[in-house]
Amino acid sequence: MAQRLIAAGSTTLGTVTTGDDIYVLGGSAAMVTAMDQSALASILSVDIGNEFNGSFGTSTAPFKAELTGTFWYNAGGGNAYWVSESAGADPDESAKLIIPRTASGHMHFDGGTITSAEVSAGQFTIATGAIVTNLYCSAGVVRFYDSASTDPTIIQNSGILYLDRGCTTLTHFGNGQTWIQGVNANAITTCNVYSSGCHIVESGTITTLNCWGGIPSVAKLQRPLTISNTNINMSLAGAESFLQNPLLTHSSTTKYMGR
């Protein structure tokens, strides 16, 4: 294994071997050569610095590699296109993506699996068929495309999230904007709402909805929705209207805060 330092202006990754750490030092170039490293078992990490604002791969020829460590995407602009793919056995799973608060680029994850993604700035798009198991978004914009793809297990969002899929545990908090817009098959097991800014446009059955500090907006809800267990803070503005909405069926409701 080795440290591979990619000089500013370079258009190629050069020679990469299993276990390498790749550091992209800067520049505005489009990196298009030697981007397919899927013949390797895995590499360790990729670090794209803030001085880079070019294209790391392209939509038709993305960077392909499985990472056992972290993809640190701190680009000052531009785009990155990544597919987690290796010569090893499926599921072509990479450990972690971090987009820190100083980043301004757009990460396009176009295939494979990321176990954990931590997003604090910029944009992160998960394409059709791609899997992100756990998402922690404190800021920035995240888009989960394709209602037929694998659902995430955990989402914690205080950024801007557009979710076309279901989820096991979805938590909305802070100043975030969460748009739930999966079709009927995309169920949510537990949805925790701690603040305003959660919007339900479409969804499969929500097993448990906890309205602790905010009430989801259903102003754009398009079809009937069943919520099996609703736990709701009746001191919140709009709580009673939410319970009486004709498009919502609350199978079991627990009211608290004195009502």
Domain ranges of the chain: 1-125, 146-259
Burial class, 237, CB count within 10 angstroms (exposed 0-12 / middle 13-18 / buried 19+): exposed
The whole-number pLDDT of residue 183 equals 84
pLDDT in tens, the chain (259 residues): 699 999 999 999 999 999 999 999 999 999 999 999 999 999 999 999 999 999 999 999 999 999 999 999 999 999 999 999 999 777 789 999 999 999 999 999 999 999 999 999 999 999 999 999 999 999 999 999 988 889 999 999 999 999 999 999 999 999 999 999 998 789 999 999 999 999 999 999 999 999 999 999 999 998 999 999 999 999 999 999 999 999 999 999 999 975 5
Structure tokens at 109: 């994850």
Q: Which amino acid is at 6?
A: I
Burial class, 183, CB count within 10 angstroms (exposed 0-12 / middle 13-18 / buried 19+): middle
Structure tokens at 248: 């919502």
The whole-number pLDDT of residue 88 equals 73
Are 66 and 59 a contacting pair, CB within 8 Å? no
* Residues 130-135: contacts with CB under 8 Å, at least 24 apart: 131/91, 132/97
Q: Which amino acid is at 230?
A: T
In this structure, the strands spanning 206-211 and 188-193 are parallel
Strand, helix or coil for residue 244: helix
Are 75 and 97 a contacting pair, CB within 8 Å? no
Structure tokens at 203: 């969804």
Given phi > 0 = left and psi -120 to 50 = alpha, else beta, which region is 127?
beta
